[in-house]
Amino acid sequence: MKEFKLEDNPKITTGFVTPDNYFEDFSAKFMQNLPLNETPEVKVIPLYKKSSTIISLIAAVFVIALMLPIFNQSPAITTSAEIDQASLENYLSYQTNVSQYDLINSLETEDLENLNETTTTTLEQETIEDLLVDNGNLEHYIME
């Protein structure tokens, strides 16, 4: 049997063929689809989405408006740590067992001095007179 030699024989081609004008068409088609020099796409916001947002906003406002009376009925919760003077006085007078004697005992010497100072310096003579004229009972207490 004669040995087959590739080099001794004429070149064997692949035998593959392409459709007519394949490369011209390929090139044109490819260039058409290629995103060359493409400007960035502008984001499109559909109108129906916008209207749904508005509708939900209006609904939210309605719900809040309906809830307002419920919020107003609820008792106000005082968060402030400060208690006003009148409430404190009322509490000490009616709600506790603290007697006048206890209050006096709780005062320090320094407090008494401060108290003295304020009464002597801040109260003018005329003010005392006015007070005595307006409250007749006070004179009676002083006499006692």
Partner 1 sequence: MQEEEEFIKQLLDSKTQNVAFQKLLSTYQKPLYNHIRNIVLNHDDTDDVLQNTFVKIFQNLKNFKGESKLFSWMYRIAANEAISFLNQKAKKSGISSQIIQDKALDNLRADVYFDGNEIQLKLQQAIATLPEKQQLVFKMKYFEELKYEEISEILGTSVGALKASYHHAVKKIESFLTTD
Interface ranges with partner 1 (CB under 8 A)? 1-6, 12-19, 23, 26-27, 30-31, 34, 36-37
Kindly tell me which of 30 and 71 has the beta carbon lying closer to partner 1. Answer: 30
Q: Please, what is the end-to-end C-alpha distance for the chain in angstroms?
A: 156
> Smallest gap, in angstroms, from Cβ of residue 27 to partner 1?
5
> Smallest gap, in angstroms, from Cβ of residue 49 to partner 1?
32
Where is 22: in which H helix or E strand?
helix 22-33
> Smallest gap, in angstroms, from Cβ of residue 42 to partner 1?
18
How far, in whole angstroms, is CA 79 from its chain's centroid? Answer: 18
d(CA 50, CA 139): 81
